[in-house]
Amino acid sequence: MKLAFILFKYFPFGGLQRDFIRIAGICHERGHQVRVYCMAWEGPQPEGFDIRILPASGFAATTRNARFHEQVMKSLQAEPVDQVVGFNRMPGLDVYYAADTCFEEKAQKQRSWLYRQTERYRQFSGWEREVFGADKITRVLLISAIQKGLFKLYYRTQEERMFLLPPGIARDRCRPENGDEIRAEFRQEFGLSDDDRLVLMVGSGFRTKGLDRAIQALASLPEQQKKRTRFFVIGQDKPKAFLQQARKQGVSEHITFFSGRDDVPRFLLGADVLIHPAYNENTGTVLLEALVAGLPVLVTDVCGYAAYIDEAKAGKLIKSPFKQDELNRALAEMLDSPERQQWQQNALAYAADADIYDMPLRAVEVIEASGERGTDAVSE
């Protein structure tokens, strides 16, 4: 089939972007033609992809989104395809990969009445309805059972249009046989002794991921424990505000920021705890990446994949409603807990048998089963 994939921006280290690459890559391997539309592309372009970069100008994101969408639809009218697969919400999709949480839920429960009068709300809400509305035909690839319920609540989306996928952790994240050797080399490289503790946080969008909460938990550690604790943060975001917070709380010397990296598995093997105290998170792929690497996880229960950590008994969950004191205590306990070895063993045993690797293939199967694209769909 001729397939068109649409996403606003591509950069190598985003979770959504990595999912897109794996799904589109399998489509290409199976003989389908892959055309990609985006406003910007960072990093190398996969061989065999027809990548079309359509920059869109405008002061506001809503303006840029609308102009980009208009260009894409014109291109599809001129050069039709069999399926249009979107990784951001917008009109005119045959298949939508739902990496984002339900926008309407956040707008109604976490924003004011005034926010719901803005152009941003009107576009995001309207485009979400174009995908999930009961009168639409877009097939939805879901990666969170919680979000599935919310979409049905707000839009009465038909069950037969929604496909809940298993997680799709890349097997190169699994702990290798020489994992202990890699850990030792990593810790030597960064000057970490056996008595030192390394807390790791991975993910772009520092505010949403709860970096402020993590810094506060680090600052709350007992003084002797704090002295031998380092905190590595990996992600594509601006650290300035969080560095200011760390300086104010006296822990800036303990924190090192890294931009997006392609050697995250080394960090997962070298660390002692992954902390992920997110405010909201559709899934949290890094949670399962830590699990298959054998790294204990400290996470808030609002993350879609937090349930896997709980089921595997591979760390601690901070239950809602969130309390900072609970996170502070949990971090201090986990860093020196005699259960650390057991959490690792539990994680690796769970990873050996769990269905957490096949998401990209299942997504491609839905795309292939969706049939040929209707001739009038582009003009919606």
pLDDT (tens digit, 9 = 90+) per residue, 172-199? Answer: 889 999 999 999 999 999 999 999 999 9
Is residue 183 domain-shared with residue 326, that is, in the same domain? yes
Distance of CA 65 to the CA centre of its chain: 21
Q: What is the CATH number of the domain that holds 54?
A: 3.40.50.2000
Spatial CA neighbour of 162 closest among 174, 173, 149: 149
Task: Give the chain's domain count.
Answer: 2
**Residue 375: is its pLDDT beyond 60?**
no
Q: In this structure, what token pair is assigned to residue 220?
A: 């709350």
Gap between the Cα atoms of 2 and 49, Å rounded: 11
Q: Which domain holds residue 99?
A: 2-166+358-379
The answer on pLDDT for 285 being more than 80 is yes
DSSP letter at 253 equals G
Do 81 and 373 form a contact (C-beta atoms < 8 A)?
yes
Q: What is the pLDDT of residue 371?
A: 66
Q: What are the φ and ψ backbone dihedral angles of 36, each rounded to 5 degrees?
A: -125, 130
HSE-CB at 182 with a 13 A cutoff on CA atoms is 16
Half-sphere exposure (Cβ direction) of 377: Cα atoms closer than 13 Å:
22
pLDDT of residue 374: 46
User: What confidence category does residue 117 fall into, taking pLDDT thresholds of 50, 70 and 90?
Assistant: very high
Once rounded to an integer, what is the mean pLDDT over residues 343-362? 95
Assign 144 a pLDDT band (cuts: 50, 70, 90): confident
Is a pLDDT exceeding 60 seen at residue 301? Answer: yes
Q: How many CB atoms lie within 10 A of CB 343?
A: 23
**One domain, residues 161 and 180:** no
CA–CA gap between residue 44 and residue 11 (Å, rounded): 9
Name residue, tokens 């969080």: 242
64: helix, strand or coil: helix
Q: Mean of the pLDDT values across residues 346-373?
A: 90
Q: With 70 as the cut, is the pLDDT of residue 205 above it?
A: yes
Taking the C-alpha atoms of residue 239 and residue 334, their distance in angstroms, rounded to an integer, is 26
Residues 41-68, mean pLDDT to the nearest whole number: 96
Does residue 84 share a domain with residue 113?
yes
Same domain, 149 and 224: no
129 and 53 in a common domain:
yes
More confident residue, 282 or 34: 34
**Of the candidate ranges 187-201, 270-284, 365-379, the one whose mean pLDDT is the lowest:** 365-379
Q: Are residues 114 and 235 in the same domain?
A: no
Higher pLDDT, 371 or 208: 208
Residues 182 and 325 in one domain: yes
Co-location of 117 and 175 in the same domain: no
Residues 39 and 64 in one domain: yes
DSSP-assigned states of every residue in 265-298: HHHHHH-SEEEE--S-BS--HHHHHHHHHT--EE
- Mean of the pLDDT values across residues 118-123? 98
Shared domain for 220 and 307, answered yes or no, is yes
Tell me how far CA of residue 137 lies from CA of 132, 143, 153, 158, 329, in angstroms.
8, 19, 17, 9, 48
Distance CA 148, CA 142 (A): 7
The pLDDT assigned to 372 comes to 52
Quickly state the pLDDT bin for 380 (edges 50, 70, 90).
Answer: very low
Q: Are residues 349 and 367 in the same domain?
A: no
Alpha carbon distance 348, 198 (integer Å)? 20
Whether 227 has a pLDDT exceeding 90, the answer reads: yes
Q: What is the pLDDT of residues 14-53, one digit of tens each?
A: 889 999 999 999 999 999 999 999 999 999 999 999 999 9
Does 82 lie in the same domain as 47?
A: yes
Query: Taking a C-beta distance cutoff of 8 angstroms, is the pair 287, 297 a contact?
Result: yes
From 59-68, 245-254, 369-378, the region with the lowest mean pLDDT: 369-378
